[in-house]
């Protein structure tokens, strides 16, 4: 059974007793962890009680598929439900779940936490197709959920927040649920109970820990900010971004700048030209883009695209480290932006 997003919170608070096992999966590892813990707490009084809870891994189930049904069939000491928690689940655990279904039902709940599983995953399809199983997907929080998380944190600490600070805060959150909660807690502790959160507070408390994306690399490069570019490149690479993704994100942004420049050269105002961009220009990047376009003529933007294209080709054929090739090209782009601004 596939649980819809609107059904998840109620299910976590009171699991359907007819459900024998739940698969919690998705790219948001923090949300997977949070929901798995919430379900464990709803199932047993103490998720850490060794007499009521069994801990397994996907690797163990791959080697011993019979273990899942055996653990679920064990009796607890005293009254109460049994909980079997499985971490690192994957398709290799599918035979173990099939054996669980073939065994007589018990008063145990199995909770399997997994990473991102595609639509062809045998484990995901098994959980979605059986009435006695439930699958819960965990994707990055949407803007509405981020607003709810902000409200919860502020209310808990009796804080108020200025509109511009709230907008900036929301833009920094959402990649991972646990990280989001951690950043909010850090902000609330920084400000102190019963006060008002300003934009400066947000920047001071979570500026260094905020999510840095390839778009930040593009903005720093096209804006001629060498220091910000160096920080953004390092942050993205440490976070697992591929060097080529940084080049490609920057190339996409340069293409959009070229569209804007053509519109401006034809007599359109910036706001009108920006409103016609597709996909729409994210509001948080609007001011930065407006500053950047001043430094770039249409011919120089085409030269910038050539520079990025050559860097990508070089990275696929040269013996130099890809990171060095990409960083060098992006720094050259930042230098060109500075030169254009000074001209």
What pLDDT, in 10s, does the model give residues 242-270? 999 999 999 999 998 998 998 888 898 88
**What architecture is domain 214-342?**
Up-down Bundle (1.20)
Distance, in Å, from the CA atom of 312 to the CA atom of 333, rounded to the nearest integer, reads 14
Q: What is the pLDDT of residue 61?
A: 95
Same fold, 5-137 and 214-342: no
For range 217-229, the mean pLDDT: 90
Confidence (pLDDT) at 122 = 96
The pTM of the whole model exceeds 0.85: no
Which range, 247-261, 274-288, 329-343, has the best average confidence (pLDDT)? 247-261
- Mean pLDDT score of the chain, rounded to an integer? 89
pLDDT band, very low/low/confident/very high, at 56 (cuts 50, 70, 90): very high
pLDDT band at 207 (very low <50, low <70, confident <90, very high): low
Domains of the chain, by residue range, sit at 5-137, 143-206, 214-342
CATH number of this structure's domain 5-137 = 3.40.50.300
Looking up tokens 């053509």, which residue turns up? 262
| Residue 211, pLDDT above cutoff 80 | no
> Does pLDDT of 73 surpass 90?
yes
**What is the Cα–Cα distance from 81 to 46, expressed in whole angstroms?**
11
Evaluate if residue 178 carries a pLDDT over 90. no
Would you state the structure tokens that stand for residue 77, as one six-digit string? 């000491």
pLDDT over threshold 90, residue 152: yes
Say if residue 272 is preceded by a cis peptide, omega within 30 of 0. no
CA pair distance 76, 66, nearest whole angstrom: 19
> Average pLDDT, stretch 315-337?
87
pLDDT at 209 over 60: no
pLDDT of residue 318: 60
Question: For position 340, what pLDDT does the model report?
Answer: 81
Banded pLDDT at 343 (limits 50, 70, 90): low
Separation of alpha carbons 195 and 201, rounded Å = 11
Is 91's pLDDT higher than 90? yes
pLDDT at 234: 84
8 A C-beta contact, residue 221 and residue 250: yes
- 206: confidence class by pLDDT, cuts 50, 70, 90: confident
pLDDT at 210 over 60: no
Q: Which two tokens stand for residue 328?
A: 């060098």
Q: What is the structure's pLDDT at 69?
A: 97
Of all residues in the chain, what percent carry a pLDDT higher than 90?
A: 56
CA 339/CA 343 separation, integer angstroms? 6
Residue 5 belongs to what H/E stretch? helix 5-13
Strands of the sheet with 108-114, listed across from one edge: 53-57, 82-89, 108-114, 21-25, 133-137
pLDDT in the model for residue 80: 75
Written out in words, the top-level CATH class of the domain with range 143-206 is mainly alpha
The predicted pLDDT at position 331 comes to 95
């Amino acid at each position: 059974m596939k649980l819809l997003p609107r059904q998840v919170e109620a299910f976590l608070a009171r699991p359907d007793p007819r459900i024998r096992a739940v698969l919690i999966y998705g790219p948001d590892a923090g949300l997977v962890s949070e929901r798995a813990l919430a379900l464990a707490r709803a199932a047993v009084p103490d998720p850490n009680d060794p007499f009521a809870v069994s801990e397994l891994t996907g690797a163990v189930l791959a080697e011993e598929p019979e273990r899942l049904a055996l653990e679920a069939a064990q009796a607890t000491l005293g009254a109460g439900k049994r909980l079997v928690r499985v971490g690192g689940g994957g398709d290799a655990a599918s035979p173990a779940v099939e054996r669980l279904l073939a065994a007589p039902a018990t008063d145990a709940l199995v909770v399997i936490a997994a990473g991102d599983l595609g639509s062809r995953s045998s484990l995901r399809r098994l959980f979605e197709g059986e009435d006695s199983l439930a699958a819960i997907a965990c994707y990055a929080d949407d803007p509405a959920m981020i607003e709810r998380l902000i409200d919860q944190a502020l209310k808990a600490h009796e804080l108020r927040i200025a509109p511009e600070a709230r907008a900036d805060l929301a833009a920094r959150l959402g990649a991972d649920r646990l990280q989001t909660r951690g950043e909010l807690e850090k902000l609330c502790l920084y400000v102190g109970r019963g006060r008002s959160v300003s934009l400066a507070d947000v920047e001071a408390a979570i500026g260094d820990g905020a999510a840095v994306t390839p778009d930040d690399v593009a903005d720093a490069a096209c804006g001629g900010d060498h220091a910000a570019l160096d920080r953004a490149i390092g942050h993205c690479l440490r976070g697992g971004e591929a060097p080529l993704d940084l080049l490609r994100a920057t190339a996409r942004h340069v293409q959009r700048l070229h569209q804007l420049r053509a519109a401006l050269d034809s007599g359109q105002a910036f706001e009108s030209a920006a409103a016609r961009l597709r996909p729409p220009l994210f509001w948080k990047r609007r001011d930065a883009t407006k500053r950047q376009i001043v430094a770039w003529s249409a011919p120089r933007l085409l030269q910038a695209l050539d520079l990025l294209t050559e860097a990508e080709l070089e990275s696929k054929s040269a013996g130099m480290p890809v990171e060095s090739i990409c960083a060098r090209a992006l720094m050259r782009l930042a230098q060109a932006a500075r030169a254009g601004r000074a001209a």
